[in-house]
Chain A
Amino acid sequence: MSAHLAAGAGSPATDAALAAYSTSTGEAVQFWVLGTVAVLGALCTVFLKRAVHSALCLAGTMIVLAVFYLANGAYFLGIVQVVVYTGAIMMLFLFVVMLVGVTAADSLKETVKGQRWLALLCGLGFGILLCAGIGNASLTEFDGLAQANAGGNVEGLAALIFTKYVFAFEITGALLITAAVGAMVLTHRERTERARTQRELAAERVRAGKQLPPLPAPGVYARHNAVDIAGLLPDGTPSELTVIGTLRERGQIRDVSDQAIKDLRALEQRAGERLGRGDRAAREDREGRAEEAAK
């Protein structure tokens, strides 16, 4: 931990008076640079479309905040921020993001009418009012933590936690256990009934009178093996059973029963022409067409 990062707490005694009102230049530079980063990270968290990006930006902001904690003399909190928040909590977030995956919720398009404008308006008003409140509070006196941290920051915190805040501490322990149990209860799914065996499933299918063997495959005579073409039954009619349910529901079945016959006829004709029986075949074909026209 570099010295200037801890400037607020570790400045020499001669600078104590100055420290009460302002910080060292190094800290100022650090504040402006890292502060900008933190705000950018926060804005990206809010406005980036993918949840993973948001999580990474938030992690960045949190690391910046950890640095600010250190700069303010909260050494223990700074480390904890990195370990617990950035290390554990944000990883948990990423884990859940991956578990949930990409959903429609990721879209930034607003669906509730007027919500975005109202939110921005409220946010703007809230921020301005908050800043006005801080500016109004005349906070010029800074005591600094030199005295409080004299025996070491961690020791000071420990002394407080195990004396003054011991009850709150204990209750916090109870809270953590409750949270752990709660998370388990929420995500755990108990199996309430025995899993059915293969035999029982088969018996059920027989009882329901559904298709017993595996469904037939789609496609006709291996000329059409596309999944959206119904297989033909021995009498030439297509069987919708051969097309998967999704396409059936959408009505995307291609019917090729007459197409196949037409193709066959064309094939026969071509074969006839090549074999010298073209005249008769052509004549027959013409007669057939005339009959069709008469109809």
Chain B
Amino acid sequence: MNPVNYLYLAALLFTIGATGVLIRRNAIVVFMCVELMLNACNLAFVAFSRMHGNLDGQIIAFFTMVVAAAEVVVGLAIIVSLFRSRHSASVDDASLMKL
């Protein structure tokens, strides 16, 4: 098997995650899909690292994880306070700018 398959897998997961972001309304699920996309990117980085024979790709993946952790903390806090004020976790309910 050619290791390039990992990249195809990463692309597939990324696309699934992006589509999920677009079609789900529950903010938590949307957020999970974002995490899925980030993980897909990480897989691609790890595969690249192996391809090029150095560890920089893994470093990037490591940073991505840290940033994702920070993002999850803030994002979930936002979702919780949104839910508190609106009693709903639907992203469509936060559409005050529409006519």
Contact = CB atoms under 8 A, between A and B. Distances in A.
Q: In the complex, are there CB atoms of A and B closer than 8 Å?
A: yes
A221 B14 CA distance: 68
A264 to B, nearest CB: 47
B70 A157 contact: no
A46 B66 contact: no
B49 A74 contact: yes
Interface residues of A, number: 91
Interface residues of B, number: 73
A140 B53 contact: no
Nearest to B81: A186
Nearest to A147: B53
Interface in B64-84: 65-74, 76-81, 83
Given A65-B43, A84-B65, A89-B35, A157 B9 contact: no
Contacts of B6: 31, 68, 72
Interface in A61-88: 61-62, 65, 68-69, 72-74, 76-77, 80-81, 84-85, 88
Nearest to B37: A42
Nearest to A55: B32
Contacts of B25: 105, 107, 111
Contact of A100 (B2, B3, B54, B89): B89
A39 B53 CA distance: 27
| Dominant SS among interface residues on chain B | helix
Interface stretch (A119-127, A190-198, A232-240, A286-294): A119-127
Contacts of A176: 66, 69-70
A115 B23 CA distance: 7
Contact of B20 (A8, A45, A111): A45
A157 B53 contact: no
B19 A46 contact: yes
A129 to B, nearest CB: 9
B29 A54 contact: yes
Interface in B1-35: 1-9, 11-20, 22-29, 31-33, 35
Contact of A23 (B3, B32, B65, B80): B3
Given A39-B16, A62-B39, 13 more contacts: A38-B13, A54-B32, A68-B6, A73-B49, A96-B76, A103-B90, A115-B22, A123-B16, A134-B7, A139-B51, A145-B53, A149-B55, A179-B73
